[in-house]
Amino acid sequence: MEEAIGLNIEGVRKKIHHGGTGELANFISGSKVTFHFRTLKCDDDRTVIDDSKKVGVPMEIIIGNMFKLEVWEVLLTSMRIGEVAEFWCDVTHTGLYPIVAKSLRRIAEGKDPTDWHIHTCGLANMFAYHSLGYEDLDELQKEPQPLIFVIELLKVESPSMYKRETWALSNDEKLKAVPVLHGEGNRLFKLGRYEDATNKYREAVICLKNIQTKEKPWEVPWMKLEKMINTLVLNYCQCLLRMEEFYEVLEHTTDLIQHHPGLTKAYFLRGKANAEVWNEAEAKKDFEKVVELDPTMSRQVKKEIRKLEMRMEEKEEEEKLKYKNLFP
pLDDT tens, residue by residue, 256-289: 999 999 999 999 999 999 999 989 999 999 999 9
Q: Check residues 82 and 322 and name the one with the higher pLDDT.
A: 82
> What is residue 241's predicted lDDT score, i.e. its pLDDT?
96
pTM equals 0.55
> What is residue 287's predicted lDDT score, i.e. its pLDDT?
95
Name the pLDDT band for 325 (thresholds 50, 70, 90): low
Long-range contacts of residues 111-118, Cβ cutoff 8 Å, at least 24 apart: 112/206, 114/206, 114/209, 114/210, 116/202, 116/205, 116/206, 116/209, 116/229, 117/205, 117/233, 117/251, 117/252, 117/255, 118/255
> What is residue 117's predicted lDDT score, i.e. its pLDDT?
43
Mean pLDDT for 239-253 is 95
pLDDT tens, residue by residue, 144-183: 999 999 999 999 988 777 666 666 677 887 888 899 999 9
Range name among 9-18, 86-95, 118-127, 302-311 with the lowest pLDDT average: 118-127
Coil, helix or strand for 258?
helix
**Of the spans 166-175, 229-238, 306-315, which averages the highest pLDDT?**
229-238
Name the pLDDT band for 217 (thresholds 50, 70, 90): confident
In this predicted structure, the answer to whether residue 320 has a pLDDT above a threshold of 80 is no
Q: Check residues 115 and 294 and name the one with the higher pLDDT.
A: 294
> What is residue 63's predicted lDDT score, i.e. its pLDDT?
84
In this predicted structure, the answer to whether residue 2 has a pLDDT above a threshold of 80 is no
Name the pLDDT band for 129 (thresholds 50, 70, 90): very low
Distances (CA, A) of 290 to 240, 257, 283, 298: 20, 12, 11, 8
Q: Which domains does the chain have, with CATH numbers?
A: 12-95+144-161 (3.10.50.40), 166-315 (1.25.40.10)
pLDDT tens, residue by residue, 73-114: 989 999 999 999 999 999 999 988 998 898 888 777 766 555
Percent pLDDT > 90 in the chain is 56
> What is residue 314's predicted lDDT score, i.e. its pLDDT?
81
Query: In whole angstroms, what is the distance from residue 211 CA to residue 171 CA?
Result: 6
Range name among 30-44, 157-171, 211-225, 267-281 with the lowest pLDDT average: 157-171
> What is residue 282's predicted lDDT score, i.e. its pLDDT?
95
Q: Check residues 22 and 191 and name the one with the higher pLDDT.
A: 191
Burial of 209-248, coded b for 16+ CB within 10 Å and e otherwise, reads: bbbbbebeeeeeebeebbebbbbbbbbbbbbbbeeebbeb
Q: Taking all residues of the chain, what is their mean pLDDT, rounded to a whole number?
A: 85
> What is residue 10's predicted lDDT score, i.e. its pLDDT?
87
User: Dihedral through CA 301, CA 304, CA 306, CA 312, nearest 10?
Assistant: -140
> What is residue 3's predicted lDDT score, i.e. its pLDDT?
43
Name the pLDDT band for 130 (thresholds 50, 70, 90): low
> What is residue 1's predicted lDDT score, i.e. its pLDDT?
40
> What is residue 69's predicted lDDT score, i.e. its pLDDT?
84
Read off the amino acid at residue 104.
Answer: L
